[in-house]
Amino acid sequence: MPLDLGQLEGWVGSACWALARISGLMLVAPVLGANTIPMRIRLGLTVLLTVVLAPLAPLDIRPLSAAGVATLAQQVLLGAAVGFVLKLVFEAVSFGGQFVSQAMSLGFAEVVNPGVGGTTPVLSQFYTMLVTLMFLAMNGHLQLIDLLAQSFRTLPVGQGGIGADGLWGVLTFASHLFAGAVRVALPALTAVLVVNLGFGAISRSAPSMNLFAVGFPITICLGMVAVWLALRGLPSAFDSLTTDAWEAMRGLTGGTP
């Protein structure tokens, strides 16, 4: 059976639309698109998702036309916006870890973080690793792929894009970066604050005591205990952040928030 040129162009177009949306997501989204994952694995996962989801994105627009290029840019922006919302959740947890590190006088203890291309405090990286494991344990990566597949039905290719309302929704969700960081770090910060208030009272009652020599190790030890006790509330805080993130991502893709 001879292959029709128009049919071949339709297949290529469907693959282009799916590849654009998936690539935008993989460029920004945590876990699946993390820099710590080898490039070949990320590329293979992107191609695999494109092959599976390409039938869901048919559109009678030539990929190399002006409308096709605009559609490609639109799909990349939509995928990047969805991934950015989820990335804000992980950044909020990392930001909370930085708060605790500074309060415990551990801000100088940093490690190289390939995900951000620089260094981050050890405690912040520890929090990020914990929530990454929780995200995988809760099948968050499968939910993200399912959301991506459903987006081709709730927001088909060519029927508008993210739009001004969608961009405003992303900016509104960005407030969770600071609120989530405070929620993650608040239990440990409260305990360290009580310790510092105690040292302030001691310095007033015994001015001759060298608090720099005594207070530094005590602050770190008690801060570690506070972090250990505060880890019980980390799953609930992360679950609340991810729940809001899934609602925001469904709103971006035209689904029910």
Instruction: Tell me the Cα Rg of the chain.
Output: 23
Residuewise pLDDT in 10s, the chain (257 residues)? 444 545 555 566 667 778 888 888 888 888 888 777 888 888 888 888 888 887 777 666 666 667 767 778 888 888 888 888 899 899 888 888 888 888 787 777 776 666 666 677 888 888 888 999 999 998 888 898 888 888 888 877 766 667 677 778 788 888 878 888 888 888 888 888 887 787 777 777 766 666 666 667 777 788 788 888 888 888 888 888 898 888 888 888 776 55
What is the pLDDT at residue 1? 45
CA-closest candidate to residue 157, choices 57, 24, 12: 57
What is the pLDDT at residue 231? 85
Domain segments of the chain: what residues? 5-252
What does the alpha-carbon distance between residue 221 and residue 104 come to, in Å, rounded to a whole number?
9
DSSP-derived letter for residue 211 is H
CB 98, CB 89: distance < 8 Å = no
DSSP, collapsed to helix, strand or coil, labels residue 252 as helix
What does the alpha-carbon distance between residue 226 and residue 207 come to, in Å, rounded to a whole number?
27
What is the pLDDT at residue 187? 82
What does the alpha-carbon distance between residue 17 and residue 15 come to, in Å, rounded to a whole number?
6
Q: Alpha helices of 104-139 — where are they, by DSSP H? A: 122-137
CB 43, CB 26: distance < 8 Å = no
pTM score, whole prediction: 0.82
What does the alpha-carbon distance between residue 8 and residue 94 come to, in Å, rounded to a whole number?
46
